[in-house]
Structure 1
């Protein structure tokens, strides 16, 4: 298993400090660089990597170390430096831990996890064995086949780190799935869950009783034909093949915690006056009373909230798409992912957002129509779907069943309403008529739905609405 260690320090590790940490393995270890200098690697005398170290990241956003590591960081701002030990190398985990411990000691900080970074002694690594060349070519990948790249991680929260984000991009570019293997008890960041939707990518959880299972669906898995895939067995009553669900996945306790989840799309003209992130900030302020706390291109989100900086970065990367993660203050858990892409219609923002609420907290459902009107009148909203679901307040995704969300409302943007023929958008089969938003001459439409977390019939109403809007009485639906 590959091990990650993190040093959280008050001072930036300078080159001499980094070198002192890297040479924890003794004088027989050599330093190399990869990723245009963004990754420093500790190698053996044949040039094979033992430990890979990401460039230090200055974190200026509160709550990220607590959310992703369960650790207490130095005062803001602080430096976050990750080291990853290569799979299959004897003593590599100890070597990475020693590096982090020395870095923390020299740059005034702490190392995580504490048990992996206790010793400052030189690690003897004579006679090491290393992982195969294809796996070590990409620091985050542990096993590579012709179907999937497999990442084995043992962290409290699997976050969309720069390493993991790079692994997703590399796998997609090679037309491979990405499968993340974790021990039981690990959770995912929502940013990672949302990136595992394409087959054969999946979250693989080790389990004493069933071996392995999919942390998002519960399907029992086995390694077969070069990847983790569901086990099939004949049904006792019909003899038809079925996939068993792991017992551990079925352990569900209703704590009363809930999440308000919103997805929306906006389309902007591609001109130099465009500033991205305004729709997300407006929605965030309407629902929480404050702006997002920070953003980044990976987790931890390290930069204070700045739509202008986000826009500048997306502009630099255009016409390639840009992905962002946005977080809120710790007292109101909130996380969004934003994908910005250039299309024929203009510049599109696709946003997935969730806020967490405890059993004694009420989600601000009454604010949804106002928030939707802001997006429709000021930010060129194309469509929006709001859901309420029984799920954890801290937004972490556990490897067990959580009830599906139920739709609260669907919103169709003014341009989409205008282009729909025969006044179809205004007259629907739903029991409640849509609520117009914005100017009477060219409104957006807000379609209220039941939104009861204990009643999934709202999805039937949503399906009826989608089919009606598409003019398709038999087709499937999506948003």
Structure 2
């Protein structure tokens, strides 16, 4: 049984409902609040945390439950996660009982189906007698001097508010976060972005290959309190056979269009963030985003004004956001700089085998971003991947560049004459206002690997970076 159990309810879990749910496993357990009251824990006799119940989240964005859990549900609804300690065998049944009773009281359902059995769970394990260390991270499965290990088993492992807190805490200590999953699990794009770069890892457990890195494929083993690559006598690593196997669930011809761009804005009261994301969304999908949030599930209906208010309240600290809609997802980082405010956006769109590449829409978008949103640069690329935008632990070819756009300020620095004459067989198009245009460079149709060489030559000519 999975260690995570989620109650999906049409009504908000109030104090009375939570008390009834916490008593589902019997009355012999203590409860305490941690993380400034955002998490309630059921404790064993010796103070060992058995089950953690996170603060309920009101999900108002259609499609989020299906994207993350693979089951359809009407929104709005309340999403309440319970997570069982893997150190106590009985804890998984206890978590299921808590979520099941909460769903029963509020007329909801439990994920995974069948996990919400309501029965008194006697906790006899000796592990229950060991209290958690002072300051321990709630429900982290293994903690060493260098690494926090989280075990997860769900269709898509998302960047939840709890996991974001774990990631920030481990980074503050200079430690690594290793997420260990079975081979059938996938990651959400926001979690994939958060795990980019050492020392964090996605560790995949395969029955035939042991452990391997789900992003690089390197065979791993537990060494000195952390997962590290297995090296031969020459210091080389090797890729796991499971990483290079074809994905049995892949649909032929599915690809992803990724549009990464940076915009700059003045840091004043008139600045409204999120408008560049919405412009890109409308240009490439024909509609506005459905919702946004700081964690998954994304819970807030789309609102640039509310997004701006949150980022302004967090300044000068950066804000990482997730924006969602049908077949599209964006990761947005808002940062305060000496010159104003920057938005770094990576918008990814799932494409079916029959979906055409939209070069005209990309050029139109480039013009809009240059003219209205302070575009610095934009790179569009196409690569393989499932249309639902989840990340699978398999090798995938690198995406191939389709176009590059340099904003008006960059063109002015390079000079228009120089920027429009790269040593390449391509003709850039001027986009945006005539007095301060940007330049849009077509690089290919997403099928020729030589497009990377073209892009490298172009950037060297412009003396700028994407």
Report the TM-score, using the length of structure 1 for normalisation: 0.92
Tell whether the 8 Å contact from 2:47 to 2:132 is kept in structure 1 after alignment. no
- Does the alignment pair 1:122 with 2:107? no
Give the distance between the partners of 1:447 and 1:26, measured in 2 at CA. 66
> Does the CA-based 8 Å contact 2:48-2:131 persist in structure 1?
no
SS of 2:66's equivalent in the other structure is helix
1:246-257 equivalences under 5 Å are 246-252=240-246, 255-257=252-254
Corresponding residue for residue 79 of structure 2: 80
* 1:274 has 2:268 as partner: no
Aligned in 2, Cα 1:116/1:42: closer, same or farther, shift over 3 Å?
same
The CA deviation at 1:140 is: 4.8
Match of 1:469 in 2: 462
Shift in alpha-carbon separation, 1:101–1:2, aligned structure 2, 3 A: closer
Q: 1:206-230: CA deviations, max 9, x gaps?
A: 0122211111111111111321111
C-alpha deviation, 1:366, in angstroms: 2.5
Q: Which moved more, 1:425-434 or 1:172-181?
A: 425-434
Decide which moves more: 440-449 or 132-141: 132-141
CA apart distance, 1:274? 1.0
**How much does 1:466 deviate?**
1.8
* Cross-structure match for 1:12: 12
SS of the equivalent of 1:98 reads helix
In 2, Cα distance between equivalents of 1:403 and 1:140: 36
Instruction: State the partner residue of 1:374.
Output: 368
Partner of 1:233: 232
Structure 1 equivalent of residue 255 of structure 2: 258
| 1:317-349 Cα shifts (integer Å, max 9, x gaps) | 1111111111003xxx11111111111121111
**Equivalents in 2 of 1:372, 1:400: separation in Å?**
33
Q: What is the CA-CA distance between 1:12 and the residue it aligns to?
A: 1.0
Contact 2:219–2:237 under 8 Å retained in 1: yes
- 1:375-406 deviation line (CA, Å, top 9, x unaligned): 11100011111001121111011111122100
Structure 1 CA distance for aligned equivalents of residues 68 and 29 of structure 2: 31
Aligned to 1:474: none
| Aligned-partner SS, 1:104 | helix
Matched residue, 2:290: 293
Matched, 1:417 2:411: yes
CA contact (8 A) 1:135 1:143 kept: no
The offset of 1:9, in angstroms, is: 0.6
Give unmatched runs, 5+ long, in structure 2. Answer: none
Q: Is the 8 A contact 2:46 2:131 kept in 1?
A: no
Aligned to 1:29: 29
Aligned residue pairs total 462
Once the two structures are overlaid, the 10-residue window that deviates more, 339-348 or 140-149, is 140-149
Does 2:431 align with 1:459? no
Kept in 2: contact 1:156–1:187 (CA 8 A)? yes
CA RMSD of aligned residues (A): 1.9
Alpha carbons 2:230, 2:237 under 8 Å: kept? yes
Deviations along 1:132-178, one digit per CA (max 9) or x if unpaired, are 73598212522222322221111111101111111111111112221
C-alpha distance after superposition, 1:427-476 (max 9, x if no partner): 212210321111222111111112333x31111111112222228xxxxx
Equivalent residue number for residue 141 of structure 1: 140
- 1:421 CA drift (Å): 5.6
Given that residues 135 and 141 in structure 1 are in contact (C-alpha distance below 8 angstroms), is that contact kept between their aligned partners in structure 2? Answer: no
The within-5 A match list for 1:189-200 is 189-200=188-199
Provide closer, same or farther for how the CA distance between residues 422 and 113 of structure 1 changes in structure 2, counting only shifts above 3 A.
closer
Are 2:343 and 1:337 aligned?
Answer: no
SS across alignment from 1:81: strand
Q: Which moved more, 1:253-262 or 1:155-164?
A: 253-262
**1:429 is aligned to 2:423:** yes
d(CA) in 2 for partners of 1:180, 1:365: 38
**Secondary structure at 2:109 match in 1:** strand
Query: Contact (CA 8 Å) 1:135, 1:142: kept in 2 or not?
Result: no
Match of 1:206 in 2: 205
Contact 1:2 1:142 in 2 (8 A): no
- Greater shift, 205-214 or 419-428, is seen at 419-428
- 1:237 aligns to what? none
